[in-house]
Amino acid sequence: MCLGLKLTKLLLRAWIIVYSLMEKQRDFSEWYIQSIDNAGMVDKRYPIKGMNVWTPYGLRIARLMNSYMREEMSRTHHEEVLFPVLVPEDQFLKEADHIKGFEENVYWVTHGGLKPLDVRLLLRPTSETAMYSLFSLWVRSHTDLPLKVYQIVSVFRYETRQTRTFLRVRELSFFFESHTCHVDQEDAERQIEEDLKIWKNLAHKFALPYLLNKRPDWDKFPGAHYSVVPDTYVAAAGRALQMASMHHYRDNFSKVYDITFEDSEGQRRNVHQTTYGMSERILGAIVAIHGDDLGIVLPPDVAPIQVVIIPILAKGQKARVTKEARAFYRELAEAVRSELDSRNMRPGPKFYEWERKGVPLRVEIGVEEIEGGHITLCRRDTGRRRRVKREVAVERIVSALRRIQADMEARAHREMKENIHTIGAYDETPSKGIIRAGWCGRESCGLRMEERLDRGLLGTPFFGEDFKGHCLECGEETTMVAYAARSF
Ligand SMILES: [Zn+2]
C-alpha cells in the first residue's frame, strides 16, 4: 500500500475517533441509529414514526435471513401460507387474555370509504385470531394432524414507547409466525423441542448467543400455557434482548375457536397448539452485538456481500490492475457472494464505505499484489490484514469467511458469559449485566426480586441448570435459578 493511502486511512480513523458520535460504549443509542443509517439498511425519514423504509441493502440482508428460516421450515415439513392483513373485531374478541394483551396496541380500520363499517377491522398484531377460525375448518380428523404452517408478513403494533429501528417498531416488516395443531399436549411439546432445534440452527447462522428462558407466568404471551424465549445480552447497552418466542397454548385457543378433530375412536377432541415467532428484531441483535465503533459488522452467513474487491489504481497502471481485479472477481463470485468496486474513486473512502456496510472481508489488488503474485485480505471484524498467494486465494477466502463466522460467534458468547453474575444476596448486585440468582418459584418473591434488583425476571432456564442455593428474596432452599436483566 502506498504512503498516501496509508495516510488517508490513518486520517480517517483519527477523524472517527476524535469527532464521531459513533462510540458504541459511550452512547449506545446514538451509535445504534448512526450505524444503521451509515450502513444504508433503512431510511428513517418516512413520515410515520416507527415505520421504516427498507433500502436495497437492508432488504437483501433481511431476505437472506428469511431464506434460512424458510429452509428450516421446509426441513421440518412446515407449509407456507399467507393470511389477510385485516382481522374482523368479533374474531379478535374471542380470546379474553389475548385481547387484554393487545388491545392497547392495535390499529383499527373503522371506515370503508365514507361509510362506517358494521364490524370494525384491525390490522393484525399477530395472526392467531386471523388463522384459527380457518383452522377449525381445515382440521377435521386426526389424519389432518399435525397441522404445521407459517408465514412471513407485516404486522402492526401501535407502540406508545419510544420506537427504535428493528427493535421497537410500529410495523414489523418481516414477522415470522409458525402455527401448529396437534393431537395432544405431548405432541405439542415435541413441537416446542423441534422449534428449539430450529432456533439453535438459526442462532448459529446469525452468530448470536442466547439464554433459553421460560418466562414467568406474569410475563408469558397472552393466552399461552407457557412461553420459551431466547434472550441475548447487548453489553454496550447493558440490556437483554428477546430475539424470538415459542409458545405452548395447550387447548386454550382451540376451545375458543372450536378447532376439533375426530380421534381414532370417533371422539371429538380439541387440538393442542403452539406458535413460534421471530422478526427483524434478530437483525437488531446482530447490529447491536457485533457492531463496533466503525459501524455494523455482519457475520458472513448473513452478509449479502461477503467479500468486496477493491482495485488499488496507481497512475499508468489502471488498465492492468482493473483487468486483474475483474478476472479475480469472476473467479471468486463462483464461490462466495462478492462485489467488485470499480468506481473511479480513491481507495480510502471506498474502504470506509464498505467497512460501514459491515462487509466481512475486503480484498485489495494493486500493482504490488500483481507483481508479488498475491492478494491482500483485510478482515472487518478484527481489522487484521494479510497476504495470500494468488493461486490459492479463493479457497483461502472461503476458509477465512468460515473462521470469521466462528470467531464472531465465539466472541459474542464470551461477552455474554462475562456479563452473567451469580449473586447470593441483594448487596452483591452489580450495576450492569444479567443477574443469576436462586428463586423459590413463588410469584410474590419473583415480583419483589424484580423490584429490588431493578430488573425484570427473564425467567428460569428452560432445560434447567445445576444449582443449589437459596431464594434471593425469602431465603428458602431451592434448586431453581432465575435470570434477571434490564431489557430493550
Ligand atoms: Zn422465595
Q: Are residues 469 and 361 in the same domain?
A: no
Q: Are residues 119 and 253 in the same domain?
A: yes
User: Does 15 reside within a domain?
Assistant: no
pLDDT of residue 206: 98
Q: How confident is the model at residue 101 (pLDDT cuts 50, 70, 90)?
A: confident
User: Does 409 reside within a domain?
Assistant: no
Q: Are residues 119 and 192 in the same domain?
A: yes
Question: 307 CA distance to ligand 1 centroid (A)?
Answer: 53
Given 374, 402, 430, the domain boundary residue is 402
Question: 225 CA distance to ligand 1 centroid (A)?
Answer: 22
User: Does 35 reside within a domain?
Assistant: yes
Question: 435 CA distance to ligand 1 centroid (A)?
Answer: 16
Q: Are residues 81 and 195 in the same domain?
A: yes
pLDDT of residue 9: 67
Q: Are residues 191 and 311 in the same domain?
A: no
Question: 368 CA distance to ligand 1 centroid (A)?
Answer: 69
Question: 450 CA distance to ligand 1 centroid (A)?
Answer: 12
The yes-or-no verdict on residue 330 having pLDDT over 90 is yes
Q: Are residues 275 and 159 in the same domain?
A: yes
Question: 444 CA distance to ligand 1 centroid (A)?
Answer: 8
The yes-or-no verdict on residue 21 having pLDDT over 60 is no
Residue 197, all three cell numbers: 432445534
User: Does 103 reside within a domain?
Assistant: yes
Host domain of residue 424: 420-485
pLDDT of 443-483, one tens digit each? 999 999 999 999 999 999 999 999 999 999 999 999 999 99
Question: 423 CA distance to ligand 1 centroid (A)?
Answer: 15
Q: Are residues 342 and 449 in the same domain?
A: no
Given 234, 266, 290, the domain boundary residue is 290
Q: Are residues 316 and 438 in the same domain?
A: no
Question: 488 CA distance to ligand 1 centroid (A)?
Answer: 26
- CATH number at 428 reads 3.30.110.30
Give, as residue ranges, everything with CB less than 5 Å from ion ligand 1.
440, 445, 471, 473-474
Question: 478 CA distance to ligand 1 centroid (A)?
Answer: 9
Question: 127 CA distance to ligand 1 centroid (A)?
Answer: 37
Question: 471 CA distance to ligand 1 centroid (A)?
Answer: 5
Domain total of the chain: 3
Given 373, 402, 431, the domain boundary residue is 402
Percent of the chain predicted with pLDDT > 90: 90
- CATH number at 100 reads 3.30.930.10
Q: Are residues 395 and 455 in the same domain?
A: no
pLDDT of residue 288: 98
User: Does 480 reside within a domain?
Assistant: yes
Question: 394 CA distance to ligand 1 centroid (A)?
Answer: 59
Question: 439 CA distance to ligand 1 centroid (A)?
Answer: 6
pLDDT of residue 223: 85
The model's pTM? 0.94
User: Does 235 reside within a domain?
Assistant: no
Q: Are residues 379 and 424 in the same domain?
A: no
Question: 441 CA distance to ligand 1 centroid (A)?
Answer: 6
- CATH number at 389 reads 3.40.50.800
Q: Are residues 314 and 283 in the same domain?
A: no
Average pLDDT over residues 406-422: 98
User: Does 150 reside within a domain?
Assistant: yes
User: Does 258 reside within a domain?
Assistant: yes
Q: Are residues 72 and 140 in the same domain?
A: yes
Average pLDDT over residues 13-40: 82
